[in-house]
Amino acid sequence: MPAARRIRVLAVVLALSMAGNVSVAQTRVTPTRPAAAQMTWHTIRLRNVDFVDLREVGERLGLKIEWSAATRKLSLSRSDDRVVVFEADNRDCYLNGIRVFLSERVTAHRDTLWVSRLDVLKTIAPLLRPAEQSLLWPARPRLIVLDAGHGGIDPGKSNTTHKITEKDMTLDVVLRLQKLLEERGYRVVLTRKDDTRFANNPLIDLQRRADFANKALGDLFLSVHFNAVDPKDAHRVTGSETYVLTPQAMLSTSDEKKDDLTDVAFPGNRNDVGNVLLGYHLHRQLITDLQASDRGFKRARFAVLRFVESPAALIEAAYLSNDAEAARVAQPEFRQRIAEAIARGVDNYSAALDALRPAESP
């Protein structure tokens, strides 16, 4: 079958399958779309990385494609208005207006845009076609482990003008969040309830926080932090960031090239698919509810995320290095808003998992 006709047939089948028509199982072409992870993608090698044409991603995931050569932007959208916009040379994309970082820069080539194959598998497909990753989704969380960043001899970041330290602010947010989550029916345990830490060695301390979460058999791990930048940038950098563990073989957001951790598969990587959904929902709610500057949903191989066996995220809620933002953090009302945004993010993540459940039944 010629390629153009094959694509048209596939498009019809996709349209039927989206309409819930089960008769597609008798057609000669693929009965239902295979999960993105099982698809063979046509790749080209750029900068030593496999890239996929975003038009192919759109066609094969059954998405509407709009490309503007003038702006070098390409958007993929679903009928429910889920839309993701890519722009040439950027390492991020915008999903429903929320900034989501990719492992590799979006690249213009042959009058279209290309993204890395791993970005398709680990970020774009799970967010745009979650139902097709159904076997990989975690269960709705019941027991949530909350981790107030730092503590004891480690104050974390601080703001001297407003006399606040990260370890106090994270504990306060986590205690507020515990109450909100328990009111919603979740069970909650805390890695620390006071100004302590597990170990003075920072790496051992972080490892023990993960061990604690694993021993508690938590379904979800949330580590709360506040951020800071160098004084020279402090006046201009504000907002929220949300991190999940970088999938194996992908670059963390702050990396430009591979390092000795890039190819390591950590226990936390078993939850790559759950993590992307969790991170997106938490980040979207933080940006929306706090009206925060969108620093992005990012990936990092933070020690505390590597060994947690449940879906896990680390939230950098605001910048203590910025005096105006630190002044807000110093207010209990703002810390309550942070806790409420995270609680809503957890609810939305749970609801998204529930919505995927029918797809799991035979």
Q: Which residues bind Zn ion (CB under 5 A)?
A: 149, 156, 225
CB-based closest residue to Zn ion:
225
- Least separation in angstroms between residue 150's CB and Zn ion is 6
3-state secondary structure the chain: CCHHHHHHHHHHHHHHHHCCCHHHHHCCCCCCCCCHHHCCCCEEEECCEEEEEHHHHHHHCCCEEEEECCCCEEEEECCCCCEEEEECCCCEEEECCEEEECCCCCEEECCEEEEEHHHHHHHHHHHHCHHHHHHHCCCCCCEEEEEECCECCECCCEECCCCEEHHHHHHHHHHHHHHHHHHCCCEEEECCCCCCCCCCCHHHHHHHHHHHHHHCCCCEEEEEEEECCCHHHCCCCCCEEEEEECCCCCCCCCCCCCCCCCCCCCHHHHHHHHHHHHHHHHHHHHHHHHCCCEEEEEEECCHHHHCCCCCEEEEEEEECCCHHHHHHHCCHHHHHHHHHHHHHHHHHHHHHHHHHHHHHCC
- Closest to Zn ion by CB, 149 vs 296, is 149
- Closest to Zn ion by CB, 92 vs 166, is 166
- Least separation in angstroms between residue 228's CB and Zn ion is 9
- Note the Cα 188 to chain centre separation in Å: 22
- Least separation in angstroms between residue 316's CB and Zn ion is 7
- Closest to Zn ion by CB, 1 vs 203, is 203
- Closest to Zn ion by CB, 16 vs 303, is 303
- Least separation in angstroms between residue 14's CB and Zn ion is 45
- Least separation in angstroms between residue 303's CB and Zn ion is 12
- Closest to Zn ion by CB, 76 vs 210, is 210
- Closest to Zn ion by CB, 302 vs 349, is 302
- Least separation in angstroms between residue 172's CB and Zn ion is 14
- Least separation in angstroms between residue 157's CB and Zn ion is 6
- Least separation in angstroms between residue 149's CB and Zn ion is 4
- Closest to Zn ion by CB, 122 vs 225, is 225
Alpha-carbon gap, residue 284 to 95, rounded angstroms: 9
- Closest to Zn ion by CB, 7 vs 204, is 204
- Note the Cα 88 to chain centre separation in Å: 21
Helix-helix angle 332-360:272-290, to 10 degrees: 140
